[in-house]
A and B are shown apart, each in its own frame.
Chain A
């Protein structure tokens, strides 16, 4: 059976494609080293237009209106006050542009201007080297380091030096632990269960917050925070899986740690992730993206009664098994870190690798 994978790797080669949703200009150069917050490509992304309906203003037919429009071309920038058409007669009437903009469409006696000129900036989202340019769309960036993928992110990106507050996986972060001394750090915080803690993190101007779990009532507030927040294990109150905690906590004070809290998207494949750049001699292997369940795999249990626990898959099912609640499912035997062996539905497992 195909297995979902969550990457928790101490050293790997991370390759990420970053693309604009529409054609634009790639700013980054090949082989350039970029920080996560660097803009690598831009596009004009307008949702604000102004329509000049010459035919309607002059109360004439569209064909006639086209003849009244001056020498204006698609793509041309028009400043406010520019005359675009003039009526005939003894007292000619001038039609002027009200707001500056670029002509994006013309026809039928109408001129459509793009008045926003808003730039869409695509950020790198990962520190590393630009290894490929995708013309007019984006880049491919490569980094070597530790990779920890989360389950929830608040949509922001930043990087900074890593500071460990959660010395143990089951640590619960408190507001009092977030003072001026952690200013500009990326913080491994543990579980966050109250709004005051998030507000303290904001006041302390942290660059990022890595949490094991987050109380669901805080999701709205967390989305509004100006810094990236990543949840590694659960919406609720659960400890961090030991593998992730060990990788992050052993990299205390490491610099340029990226917290890309991009929202998890089932179809696009985006996941919130923490990337810790590490020195290396040779390129380590890239993470496996697709895997089938197999004995010996390191797995995480997604659901109660052992939600968040990790262990080793020691036996694959050959027949359906009846759970204590009566459901009949394919369940594998997992040896938990504490030595206990439990049967877990395969659909409730994910491979850590």
Chain B
């Protein structure tokens, strides 16, 4: 087929905490496709302290794989396609590496503007280390001292409805200005103002001489009951990149390569979820999860609503030891099917924190790593769920919304030896209910696709459709209060060749109906005993489904999943579930 679009090849670079990835997208048979990926350990940390070496090596790997030259003899990027086929038309970049930003938030009411400022901070790789509000009983000088002690990379100022009262906000701005003035010039933080728009000029006048990185954006809390983070998210994304430019050599040059459009990886990921969720509509929710070395990131899209949360204390790298502040060693151990003492798990955690790039090399270590991944995702999912909009579509109170699609990435998931292991980690941790398509971002492409949307809007859509991601399974998880062992669902699958597969699932059961990638079929679901698969208690569903790596997974284990405390029985069950998914 002739090309129907203007061909623009794109080299997307993603600088993670552990891994730097160089990904090539190009037009094949008239459609954009993911061509190949080159990977290298990241070099943002000592002794390199410059991302350039990792970028160079990942591009070199990509060149070896594709046979295409991207760097010229003078070590410069070839930024347009040459006659010999070398070079690329466009470069995009995303970044998640570096120390978590230390953020001070300031607002008026702690449960209104301060809450919104916190939500904004948590939409990127940041940690709130100090907050100032009207409810703060401290004197101004104590607040100044607290800001100085916090040593922030970024200060977010929110508060006041547009055209509302300004006096208290002015006091906060003065306190922050004074604290900033007292800091050494080369240590002054970036400042993002997202409060009462009437005060924006005053903010510029007071703070512009003090901070070389001052950003103003629309009010994140334009009224008491409305939160609007969208414009501010773009600004905080830019602020994040600008802070990284001052912290890590090589970032400024890469941002120039990318035409000043470098994005935080999580922002790029959430952009794709937002794009897809607008297509799916408000009745269905979409979820992307990424369990990276620097953080666990979750983005939920419901229609036009987008919620992004970054959990730096739930990453699988240096911060892995912080997981124990949110769960217990016993909770981690319950996912293992081998003997490992809590001491062994603890040792594993500290070794992993010391060597975040290292990988498990034994069967037992792999199980511990995957158990840690389950717990990190489970804790993050619980936290995310608490902040979802109250009108999000759910089957039952306290359960997750009906996720139409779950897109998952991060090395614990993408590098798991089998797709069955990847899927079981996700099902155990996230526990989706109803009918959900689970997709694995095997090459961690989602941030790259988010950045390419700036260059070419067709690229991410077509790359998503052309097999760059692995469709793991269509998961059917009925919600039922029936007794263990009672039949709760009959599923019947009619393939295009006329063959029919039927399965009955009992409460507590776990089954698979194979449907290969490339095949399509009609799926009929008949809930029994008032079980609910999405349309209401006992309501049938008939739908068309596509094939996937594992097929149709009937997960009758219950929501929420209740693991037995009997160690022997629990291990047998986990082994059986894994075996059902192919090991």
Contacts and interface: CB of A to CB of B under 8 A. Distances in A.
Interface residues of B, number: 51
Nearest to B181: A105
Interface string B163-197: 00000000000100010011010010000000000
B358 A302 contact: yes
Contacts, number: 135
Given A49-B141, A108-B174, A303 B359 contact: yes
B45 A267 contact: yes
Interface of B: 40-41, 43-49, 53-54, 57, 98-99, 139-141, 144-145, 148-149, 174, 178, 181-182, 184, 187, 247-248, 318, 346-347, 349-351, 354-366, 415, 417-418
Contact of A1 (B40, B247, B248, B318): B40
Nearest to B97: A267
17 contacts: A1-B57, A47-B148, A216-B350, A217-B346, A235-B350, A237-B347, A264-B354, A265-B46, A266-B46, A267-B44, A267-B46, A267-B98, A290-B48, A327-B359, A345-B358, A345-B361, A347-B359
A143 B361 CA distance: 39
A50 B141 contact: yes
Given A112-B144, A348-B361, 6 more contacts: A234-B347, A266-B45, A269-B46, A303-B360, A325-B361, A345-B359
A152 B354 contact: yes
Nearest to B350: A235
Nearest to A346: B41
B359 A266 contact: no
A345 B355 CA distance: 13
A90 interface: no
B182 A302 contact: no
Contact of B99 (A151, A152, A267, A328): A267
A60 interface: no
A271 B144 CA distance: 32
Contact of B182 (A5, A104, A219): A104
A218 to B, nearest CB: 11
Contacts of B357: 4, 347
A21 interface: yes
The bracket for how many chain A residues form the interface is 35 or more
Contacts of A348: 355, 358-359, 361
Nearest to B146: A47
A330 to B, nearest CB: 10
Contacts of A152: 354
A281 interface: no
A216 B347 contact: yes
Nearest to A104: B182
A304 interface: yes
A269 B49 CA distance: 8
B47 A302 contact: no
Nearest to B248: A267
Nearest to B45: A266
Nearest to B357: A347
Contacts of B57: 1-2
Contacts of A323: 361
Interface string A327-353: 111000000000000001101100000
B43 A2 contact: yes
A234 B351 contact: yes
Contacts of A23: 184
A221 interface: no
Contacts of A235: 347, 350-351, 354
A321 B365 CA distance: 18
A326 B418 contact: yes
A175 interface: no
A72 interface: no
Nearest to A50: B141
B347 to A, nearest CB: 4
A196 to B, nearest CB: 18
A236 interface: yes
A80 interface: no
B45 to A, nearest CB: 4
Given A217-B346, A266-B46, A303-B365, A105 B358 contact: no
B366 A48 contact: no
A105 B54 CA distance: 45
